[in-house]
């Protein structure tokens, strides 16, 4: 007997019969498999909608209380928001015995939840941790308003253990400083650091005391440099050191690296000092150079010989090999000097000063 049964390819094994006439024994097996599949899906859906209460695993909460809904899955909506226990402090983790959760459910008239053999539940209170660096940055900004020093040049050194703040993750505001007391003579400061709008005032504010140290940038070589070698930006790193411990010629702001070379061999890790640098000679003594002769209406170029070495801007003597004339020229580039002819135009003169 043949049954005219057209089916879709439900499984890879059924694709061979898709859209074809199927023998009755085969059709019976396929129908039976389909019924088993449908019954399994119904059973899963029934389990999800059965209302069975189950104990949750370890949980993280943001509020200061732990609710029934935080602890028990499948609880009715009218009890999920009921506070059952106090939450740990911000950023801390505590435990709740399973027996206490079951007792709370019983008091509410709920069926006994499935515990899956758990004897306790760990509860973590979510928190935004504000470390000492963030507090120091806010304190430096506040102190900078009292003295004519930029905040980034101030190093805050806390007295005692570095302070921290813990606030709710929902509190995303910046750290604020109030009740500031600053002594410019001793460079000591005391203040209250806090985050506005925080729920727990005790944990969201902290009194701090610190010493304020003014710092300055210095350049520290990252590789050894030989005498006469140019120092490039990739050869050093910028660090901040206490101003009181830094010689004036070590301050990075006072150092000009443009067309400078090392006066001596300098090892890596050394602080770069102004005296370690000399201007780089762009013209060597006896070198053939390009002489640019400029007058008001004319520019000439010629080859010549440098009688002395010089860096950019130096006035050196050069010789014109054709005329053997010695000219005073200014070094303007590598192997290049410039001679500016004096102006020969008319000059107005007067012996009287016009008031």
- What value does the mean pLDDT of the chain take? 82
Reported as half-sphere exposure (CB side, CA atoms, 13 A), residue 8 has a value of: 2
- Rounded Cα distance between 156 and 17, Å, is 79
The pair of structure tokens assigned to 131 is 């470390």
Q: pLDDT digits over 146-175, tens only?
A: 888 999 999 999 999 999 999 988 888 899
The more confident residue out of 235 and 10 is 235
Report DSSP state, residue 184.
T
For the segment(s) 128-279, the CATH number from 3.90.1210.10, 3.40.50.1000, 3.40.50.720, 3.20.20.70 is 3.90.1210.10
Q: pLDDT digits over 67-115, tens only?
A: 999 999 999 999 999 999 999 998 999 999 999 999 999 999 999 999 9
- Rounded Cα distance between 50 and 270, Å, is 74
Distance of CA 278 to the CA centre of its chain: 37
Q: Is the pLDDT of residue 1 over 90?
A: no
Report the percent of the chain where pLDDT is more than 70.
Answer: 80
CATH fold, domain 282-340, is: SH3 type barrels. (2.30.30)
pTM over 0.75: no
Task: Give the model's pLDDT for residue 203.
Answer: 62
């Amino acid at each position: 007997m043949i049954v005219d049964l057209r089916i879709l390819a439900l499984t890879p094994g059924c694709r061979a019969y898709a859209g074809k006439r199927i023998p009755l024994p085969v059709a019976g097996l396929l129908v039976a498999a389909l019924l088993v599949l449908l019954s399994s899906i119904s059973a899963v859906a029934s389990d999800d909608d059965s209302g069975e209460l189950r104990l949750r695993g370890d949980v993280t909460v943001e509020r200061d209380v732990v609710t029934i809904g935080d602890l028990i899955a499948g609880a009715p909506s009218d009890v999920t928001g009921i506070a059952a226990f106090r939450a740990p402090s911000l950023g801390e983790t505590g435990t709740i015995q399973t027996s206490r959760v079951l007792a709370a459910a019983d008091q509410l008239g709920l069926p006994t939840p499935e515990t899956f053999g758990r004897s306790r539940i760990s509860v973590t209170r979510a928190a935004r941790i504000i470390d000492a660096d963030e507090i120091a940055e806010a304190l430096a900004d506040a102190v900078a308003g009292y003295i004519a020093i930029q905040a980034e040049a101030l190093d805050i050194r806390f007295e005692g253990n570095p302070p921290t703040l813990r606030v709710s993750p929902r509190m995303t505001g910046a750290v604020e400083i109030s009740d500031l007391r600053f002594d410019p003579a001793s460079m000591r400061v005391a203040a209250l650091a806090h985050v506005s709008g925080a729920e727990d005032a005790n944990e969201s504010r902290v009194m701090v005391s610190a010493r304020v140290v003014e710092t300055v940038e210095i350049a520290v070589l990252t590789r050894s440099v030989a005498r006469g070698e140019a120092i490039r930006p990739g050869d050093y790193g910028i660090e901040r050191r206490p101003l009181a411990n830094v010689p004036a010629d070590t301050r990075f702001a006072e150092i000009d690296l443009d067309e400078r070379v090392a006066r001596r061999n300098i090892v890596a890790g050394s602080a770069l000092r102004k005296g370690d640098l000399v201007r780089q000679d762009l013209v060597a003594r006896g070198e053939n150079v390009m002489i640019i002769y400029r007058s008001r209406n004319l520019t000439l170029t010629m080859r010549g010989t440098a009688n002395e070495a010089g860096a950019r801007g130096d006035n050196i003597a050069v010789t014109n090999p054709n005329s053997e004339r010695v000219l005073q020229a200014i070094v303007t580039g590598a192997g290049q000097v410039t001679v500016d002819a004096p102006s020969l135009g008319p000059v107005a003169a007067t012996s009287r000063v016009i008031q």
